[in-house]
Structure 1
């Protein structure tokens, strides 16, 4: 008959608790080692610095919550693994190994399906689960709105600065070498901005994958409907039409489409269509500038029409897609003609 091992001593249990605390701290700090200066620099003379700091600040929400969820999963798994090992009479390395295995398993759950699992465990019935997810989606949507506004304002500042440099060159208040140097610096700043936005977009996407799992449970069919590809149609404008960075008449102009030039239209919003030129430049123009736009279906509004979980889920998906589209449009413009001296 195997000899029963004595339970772990109080001092060992204390060491285990300290180890778990260190594990928790390490998990929560693992993605927080960067500083603001390392992410966005400390450039003097950047006239868009205020907007850049605002965008960086909104990213904290998405990063912090993801790390916290992973840490909770890891700690829960470590506790379970350690307790199971101790309960079976293991000592020392056996308990430590059990905690380590549990932490790995817990981290996987916390990082991929932890959100839905946690909400299901807390809910007493389907109605309470729907309400909890709806509340979380409403909070997420509000933060997505703040991030979208911050990015829009930053890009507006960058592209308006590019327009001012062209104007200064055209008026003779800048020499061409001065204008080229100023535009090169502006392009570098903008590419760094886009790298930051791309990082935030990745964080939003990882959180979105968690929400998508929950959405399939509480609002089946919403995700599939949102994933349907946007229709596109060929078109030619009646007259020369400016392309804007966003579907907003006050947004910076990024290009012009001559009359009768062949373009591709996709559904936009707020009376605008998304336009892509033959060279790959994308922007927004009033849909009424294109006779063919009448054949485009209306895009779903971003704002939720009510607080039910289905409309909140649909608008959450739309907000994520819109931010990703905004980052993609800015990326293409920064790599192409958006920061050329002559447009």
Structure 2
């Protein structure tokens, strides 16, 4: 390797080490300081804390890929340009397949490789459950704050101008928090791509046969029904559907379906709101992840990723019109 190529490798190695040691934004930098007035602060902190888990390893994989790519590019090209191109290629490869490569280096036989991937998937799924709960609780809290402001304006305990100001502040907060959740979802899906690659190596077809049907059917609501933010009777109401209204529907569980009204508003309703349940179809059944079984754990991981992504999208859609005062 030439002197120039060695210099490039040294530069990229230094940069990767700096990237690994870089201090991320503090919690206050990410979500703002606690001024003691936000009743949803604990839920926000819980969501933020889960994001650290999902962001960490992807960055390490990309850094390792950049260094490896620089070494390869420099060795082949014998010049600065070859090392730079190799670094860029390596960064992409590191982000996409660094996890599998690292596992293969640590586990020299198929049985230990499979067991290690399965163990990581169990931890990933547990963290995804924590993230989903934290996000659900935070959004429930925000939409209930909006309901409280509306009720205060309606009964005269809050001046309308003050109510509008409070609602504007709440809308801005919620939009920032949804953006945070979108960032977490992106990290989750990047890690998911690494898991999918690894699982396909030890259990071919495991990630390819998972049902991910997102199509809607046309149906009619049989009775007036509130639209909810989540598929849960305790979730805040974000709208209503009139009896005999034509909607688009997709079941998400045995008891709830996501519907889209003629106006484009989306929310969840009980499947019992449809007189003909067969007409709306059935939700895909995902087998629960079995400890130690990479195949079932991968399928349940995909379902969790999709569910979190959909919940973030649904919250973003609901927030677009969910923080307005009633006309008055």
The verdict on a shared fold, with TM-score over 0.5 as the criterion, is yes
Q: RMSD between aligned alpha carbons?
A: 3.0
Task: From the superposition, tell whether residues 29 and 277 of structure 1 become closer, same or farther in structure 2 (CA, over 3 Å).
Answer: farther
Displacement after TM superposition at 1:292 (Å): 3.1
Match for residue 107 of structure 2? 123
Name the SS for the 2:209 alignment partner.
helix
Give, in whole Å, the separation in 1 of the partners of 2:276 and 2:217.
8
- Match among 258, 261, 266 for residue 274 of structure 1: 258
Match for residue 322 of structure 1? 307
Displacement after TM superposition at 1:177 (Å): 1.3
Give, in whole Å, the separation in 2 of the partners of 1:39 and 1:287.
39
Match for residue 175 of structure 1? 159
The answer to whether the 8 Å contact 2:97/2:197 transfers is yes
1:25 and 2:17 correspond: yes
Give, in whole Å, the separation in 1 of the partners of 2:11 and 2:134.
40
Match for residue 170 of structure 2? 186
User: More deviation in 112-121 or 179-188?
Assistant: 112-121
Residues 296-328 of structure 1, C-alpha deviations (whole Å, 9 max, x = no match): 123324742554111101100000000100110
1:46 and 2:30 correspond: no
Displacement after TM superposition at 1:221 (Å): 2.9
User: More deviation in 263-272 or 21-30?
Assistant: 21-30
Give, in whole Å, the separation in 2 of the partners of 1:104 and 1:259.
57
Structure 2: runs of 5+ lacking an equivalent: none
- Match among 219, 236, 257 for residue 203 of structure 2: 219
Displacement after TM superposition at 1:264 (Å): 1.3
Match for residue 182 of structure 2? 198
- Match among 42, 49, 59 for residue 51 of structure 2: 59
Displacement after TM superposition at 1:77 (Å): 4.8
Give the aligned length.
322
1:308 and 2:293 correspond: yes
Displacement after TM superposition at 1:110 (Å): 1.5
The answer to whether the 8 Å contact 2:8/2:84 transfers is no
The answer to whether the 8 Å contact 2:238/2:267 transfers is yes
Q: Which is greater in Rg?
A: 1
1:148 and 2:99 correspond: no
TM-score, normalising length from structure 1?
0.83
Name the SS for the 1:243 alignment partner.
strand
Task: From the superposition, tell whether residues 16 and 280 of structure 1 become closer, same or farther in structure 2 (CA, over 3 Å).
Answer: closer
